[in-house]
Chains A and B, each alone.
Chain A
């Protein structure tokens, strides 16, 4: 059974802080994704990674960066948190190589004050 975990379920940060969100998957998946989920806007892709140290921008990368130093771990970094980054952040992974089924983490609800 695929397990995708995220470092925190809830996080409260102050404007200007650097924020790290971590995601770990245990099924040797090639691809990992970071989404932001806001009411009425669905799932919007921030960044994805198809290999260690490889990353590509999604639809809304501004204000975010990512790191993938190991295959199982994909980190999302908010360099200087702002109130408009208050949101639910979901990590996902999939095997790749035309195996598209995505497995999601439980989400991190981030509040920036």
Chain B
């Protein structure tokens, strides 16, 4: 089955810096890669996603890039703000008859004012 590895597990940055979180996946048939943000005590919420037919997607200060050949995708947050502090999860959706997501273990992002 699919295996998703996420790095780093914790990331500490100063306000205004950029943050990058990387995920690798194992199943070359995976074709959908979402990122979720989970603030403390709240539910995970989708912040951006990308499909395998696209190499990059942006939404204001966040962007996701996908390298299908290398089987990795990354979340980029520019001009970080304290409210970006949260746990971020990546996921990969496989195929082959079992269309369910596999999640990374999460990255705790701390943005210092």
Contact A101 B100 (CB under 8 A): no
Contact A90 B43 (CB under 8 A): yes
Tell me the smallest distance from the CB of B102 to a CB of chain A, in Å: 8
| Complex-state Cα separation, A44 to B46, whole angstroms | 17
Q: Which chain B residue shows the least CB distance to A6?
A: B43
**Which chain B residues lie closer than 8 Å to A45 at the CB level?**
100-101
The A-B contact count (CB < 8 A) is 44
Contact A100 B93 (CB under 8 A): yes
Binding site for B on A (CB under 8 A): 4, 33, 40-45, 48, 56, 58, 90, 100-102, 104-107
Q: Is the interface of B mostly helix, strand, loop or mixed?
A: strand
**Which chain A residues lie closer than 8 Å to B46 at the CB level?**
101-102
Q: Could you list some 22 contacts between A and B, CB below 8 A?
A: A33-B100, A40-B9, A40-B105, A41-B105, A42-B89, A43-B89, A43-B103, A43-B106, A44-B103, A48-B100, A56-B98, A58-B100, A90-B44, A100-B34, A101-B46, A101-B49, A102-B34, A102-B36, A102-B46, A102-B101, A105-B43, A106-B43
| Complex-state Cα separation, A41 to B42, whole angstroms | 17
| Complex-state Cα separation, A59 to B101, whole angstroms | 11
**Which chain A residues lie closer than 8 Å to B42 at the CB level?**
106
Q: In the complex, which range does the number of interface residues on chain B fall in?
A: 20 to 34
Partner pick for B103 among A42, A56, A105, A106, CB 8 A cutoff: A42
In the assembled complex, B67 has its CB within 8 A of some CB on chain A: no
Given A33-B100, A43-B106, 8 other A-B contacts at CB below 8 A? A4-B43, A40-B9, A41-B105, A42-B104, A56-B98, A101-B46, A106-B42, A107-B43
Tell me the smallest distance from the CB of B31 to a CB of chain A, in Å: 10
Contact B45 A104 (CB under 8 A): yes
**Which chain A residues lie closer than 8 Å to B34 at the CB level?**
100-102
